Amino acid sequence: MLKGPTYRSAPFLSRIARNRLVVVGLVMAVFLVLLAVFADVISPRDPLAVNVAAALHPPNLKELFGTDRFGRDLLSRVIHGSRVSLSVSFSSVAVALVAGTFLGLISGYFGGAWDIAISRVMDIFFSFPVLLLAIAIAAMLGPGIENAVMAIAIVYAPFFSRVARGPVLAEREKEYIQAARVIGASHERILLRHIFPNVLSPIIVQASVTIAYAILTEASLSYLGLGTQPPTPSWGTTLNEGRTYLQLAPWISIFPGIAIMLAVLAFNLVGDGLRDALDPRMR
């Protein structure tokens, strides 16, 4: 099996490019980010503008996705929803990544009591189904966007810790690390300059897959009324509001769901492709 730095460096990008599905995923993800950034410019209307006279309009040429019970334009709400969804999932994954990777590095590098303590605490989190844990934490912290971010971050941090710990254990024993130690390099320097780069690629793969899960989790929390609160146009919240009008105005329930699916699919495709490219065994 081919492995090592020579294999990774140059052909890596071309391997990603050759995998058509990853390219599709990347294009979708970039489109989504642009949608979120330029939501104000792209949206035909203000997502919060209420017009009761135009309530529950089915999709038509002027209102492509129809309107909700307050006459708010659904297309604009779905476009703005990408902003909520991406900011929640990106920030929660960022927190989970930093915290989890840090713990994983410490746990693997120092070993001993550190490792036991950190691993045991992570075990507590692994002893619970992810979604249920997120729901429980969010319910306990109270509804709201910041608490949803916290809940998602707490739930996914252990995954980063586990992904980071493995390579550290393998790398720690290698001769160049011992050499660095003999020269008198500090722990911080060894961890950041020598060990961290080895952890980077599995962490990146984990991050892209976790973003997909985070989008799903945020939507589920908001759907249950625990995440983003109305009138903020989150996809999950809109779906929750559409429940009552399922028979009368099914479009409220259809479009945000498709948006969630496409967003999650985009990051799943990217994550899958990255894993294939970085781990030759998975092809």
State the residues that interact with another protein by CB under 8 A: 21, 120-121, 123-124, 127-133, 135-137, 139-142, 212, 216, 219-220, 223-224, 239, 242-243, 246-247, 250, 253-254, 256-257, 260-262, 264-265, 268-269, 272, 281-283
Q: For another protein, which is the closer residue by CB, 192 or 246?
A: 246
The CA-based dihedral angle spanning residues 282, 204, 9, 197, taken in that order and rounded to the nearest 10 degrees: -120
Closest distance to another protein from the beta carbon of 230 (Å): 17
Distances (CA, A) of 6 to 2, 52, 176, 214, 282: 9, 63, 18, 34, 19
Distances (CA, A) of 57 to 42, 241, 259: 21, 15, 20
Closest distance to another protein from the beta carbon of 59 (Å): 15
- Measured distance CA(186)–CA(203) in Å, rounded: 24
Q: For another protein, which is the closer residue by CB, 26 or 54?
A: 26
Which pair of structure tokens corresponds to residue 255?
């479009």
Q: For another protein, which is the closer residue by CB, 188 or 283?
A: 283
Closest distance to another protein from the beta carbon of 221 (Å): 10
Closest distance to another protein from the beta carbon of 90 (Å): 17
Q: For another protein, which is the closer residue by CB, 43 or 222?
A: 222
Tokens 């209420």, located at residue: 50
Residue 44 phi, psi (nearest 5): -65, -30
